[in-house]
């Protein structure tokens, strides 16, 4: 290799790959082709990948150690220029890879041209993007841990507070506040494990796959993989440069997580309304109305309800970009990044906002208890009592209870307000003992099956999660 080509590219042609081009691209071609506007976010990963590559090229004798040293140090200078905001990104240089390399050449001269030995932008972008997505998995995992802790504190505080449990948003059975909060801890724990699984699977290094076929240089892919914190190098060079399934897994896990957030967001919107008054949201997470002075709008919750739309949109977009692409790399794949960047930013912001809202919200314990007792919420307890005490088949017990509910509804009272005579007019076996099962406190205390809402079970689960979350 000579230090510089004898025939530099014609004026206007790309300095990096313009050897066979007589003219430069159309301005609109530059606009559609360039990714620097967004892939500059990969600068730290790009420089880390290049430094690992250069060190490996020296260790394997492909580069002299003095060239590798100049490259390694020059790359650190580029890094600090970018971090200080002193770097002039150029659209003509297309992407982050060529921007960094071109600046490196300005700083260290000829050795910069040797950095791209045994490498292509195809494996370069694959490794940069994997490193970036891997960091986002870590960020999601710690964001989820913080949110789980916020739900857990709520659960611990109100382990035995009764509230109505709903199906179809109709009163179903009384449950405990702690149980409801822990339902979200379970969902978020599964979300977390999805990011952990995805991270494990993506943690293989594509660097060294080169353009698509591998390289004839005696590179050490295990060395670069280890230097960048990967478990191992990827085993097939074609696959290495052509798949973005790791990004799709991240987006899929993000979508499921955002869906969970949207469900609690919706509950907060309902619960904080004047009609429900189950919770009070802190002023920090609500806004006022410019015309209606009484209003306190749950804007953060509403936005959190909406964010899945955006994240799922990115997921669908990337699936659609990748669908039907013949192996290996195609420029279509440059469209992967903006989707993932936006989805990741959205998810991290959503997790932080939800954590703040959950930490700052306060449950109206009395309102929850009153509401728990309304809507014939202990009708199932009555039916269960008829089965246990009178040995009625459950279907018959259900029928008797339904008749009693209709009677109470007609009278405009709750089940415990019916007299024993009224009860016995529907089934003569009913005794005074029935009243002991009609209270909401009794109702929740009785649901001691594993995973049930009884305060005893909730306290056990709180203790389990406290150990798990540390």
Q: Which of 90, 142, 273, 289 is catalytic?
A: 289
Exposure string for 292-308, b = 16+ CB within 10 A, e = fewer: eeeebebebbeebbebb
- Nearest approach, Cβ of residue 133 and ligand ARG (Å): 13
**Contacting residue, 16, 25, 35, 57, with ligand ARG by CB under 6 A:** 35
- Nearest approach, Cβ of residue 333 and ligand ARG (Å): 5
Given the rule CB under 6 A, which of 119-127, 144-152, 221-229, 308-316 is the region that contacts ligand ARG? Answer: 119-127
Nearest to ligand ARG of 195, 246 (CB atom): 246
- Rule CB under 6 A: is residue 16 a binding residue for ligand ARG? no
Site string for ligand ARG, 294-313 (x = CB under 6 A): --------------------
Which helix (H) or strand (E) is 262 found in, with range?
A: helix 245-271
| Beta carbons of 10 and 23 less than 8 angstroms apart | yes
- Rule CB under 6 A: is residue 334 a binding residue for ligand ARG? yes
Nearest to ligand ARG of 42, 350 (CB atom): 42
Catalytic status, residue 371: no
| Beta carbons of 329 and 241 less than 8 angstroms apart | yes
Which helix (H) or strand (E) is 239 found in, with range?
A: helix 237-242
Tokens representing 7 are 């025939």
- Rule CB under 6 A: is residue 339 a binding residue for ligand ARG? no
**Contacting residue, 122, 255, 371, 377, with ligand ARG by CB under 6 A:** 122
Catalytic status, residue 222: no
Contacts of 296 (CB under 8 A, 6+ apart): 272, 281, 283, 286, 287, 288
- Kindly identify the residues of this chain, within the stretch 371-400, that bind ligand ARG according to CB under 6 A: none
- Rule CB under 6 A: is residue 121 a binding residue for ligand ARG? yes
Nearest to ligand ARG of 108, 126 (CB atom): 126
**Contacting residue, 25, 49, 58, 95, with ligand ARG by CB under 6 A:** 95
- Rule CB under 6 A: is residue 240 a binding residue for ligand ARG? no
- Rule CB under 6 A: is residue 130 a binding residue for ligand ARG? no
Pairing mode, strands 279-280 and 232-233? unpaired
Number of residues binding to ligand ARG, judged by CB under 6 A = 10
| Residue 284 neighbours by CB distance under 10 Å | 10
User: Radius of gyration (Cα) for the chain, nearest Å?
Assistant: 31
d(CA 299, CA 276): 17
Nearest to ligand ARG of 36, 226 (CB atom): 36
Q: Which residues bind ligand ARG (CB under 6 A)?
A: 35, 39, 95, 121-122, 125, 329, 331, 333-334
> Active-site residues: which are they?
168, 289
């Amino acid at each position: 290799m000579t230090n510089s080509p004898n025939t530099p590219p014609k004026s206007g042609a790309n300095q990096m790959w313009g050897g066979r081009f007589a003219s430069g691209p159309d301005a609109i071609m530059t606009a559609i082709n360039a990714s620097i506007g967004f892939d500059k976010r990969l600068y730290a990963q790009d420089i880390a990948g290049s430094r690992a590559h250069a060190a490996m090229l020296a260790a394997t004798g492909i580069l002299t150690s003095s060239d590798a040293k100049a490259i390694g140090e020059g790359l650190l200078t580029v890094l600090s220029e970018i971090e200080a905001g002193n770097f002039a990104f150029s659209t003509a240089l297309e992407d982050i890879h060529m921007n960094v390399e071109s600046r490196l050449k300005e700083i260290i001269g000829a050795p910069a041209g040797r950095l791209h030995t045994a490498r292509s932008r195809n494996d370069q972008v694959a490794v940069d993007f994997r490193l970036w997505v891997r960091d986002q998995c870590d960020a999601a995992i710690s964001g989820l841990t913080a949110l789980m802790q916020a739900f857990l504190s709520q659960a611990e505080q109100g382990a035995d507070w009764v509230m109505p449990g709903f199906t179809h948003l109709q009163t179903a059975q009384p449950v405990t506040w702690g149980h409801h909060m822990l339902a979200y801890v379970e969902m978020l724990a599964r979300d977390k494990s999805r990011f952990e699984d995805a991270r494990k699977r993506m943690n293989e290094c594509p660097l060294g796959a080169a353009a698509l076929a591998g390289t004839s240089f005696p590179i050490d892919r295990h060395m670069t993989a280890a230097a960048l914190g990967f478990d191992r190098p990827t085993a097939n060079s074609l696959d290495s440069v052509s798949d973005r399934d790791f990004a799709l897994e991240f987006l899929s896990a993000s979508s499921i997580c955002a869906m969970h957030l949207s469900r609690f967001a919706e509950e907060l919107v309902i619960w904080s309304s004047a009609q429900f008054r189950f919770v009070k949201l802190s002023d920090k997470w609500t806004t006022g109305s410019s015309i209606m002075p009484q209003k306190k709008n749950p804007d953060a919750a509403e936005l959190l309800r909406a964010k899945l739309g955006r994240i799922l949109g990115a997921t669908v977009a990337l699936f659609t970009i990748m669908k039907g692409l013949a192996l290996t790399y195609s420029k279509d794949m440059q469209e992967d990044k903006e989707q993932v960047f936006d989805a990741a930013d959205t998810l991290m912001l959503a997790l932080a906002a939800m954590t703040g809202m959950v930490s700052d919200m306060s449950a109206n314990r009395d309102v929850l208890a009153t509401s728990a007792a309304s809507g014939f919420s202990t009708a199932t307890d009555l039916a269960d009592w008829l089965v246990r005490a009178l040995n009625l088949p459950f279907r018959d017990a259900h029928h008797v209870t339904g008749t009693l509910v209709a009677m109470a509804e007609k009278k405009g009272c709750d089940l415990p307000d019916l007299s024993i005579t009224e009860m016995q007019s529907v089934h003569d076996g009913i005794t005074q003992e029935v009243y002991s099962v009609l209270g909401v406190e009794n109702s929740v205390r009785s649901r001691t099956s594993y995973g049930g809402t009884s305060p005893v079970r909730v306290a056990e689960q709180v203790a389990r999660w406290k150990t798990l979350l540390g």
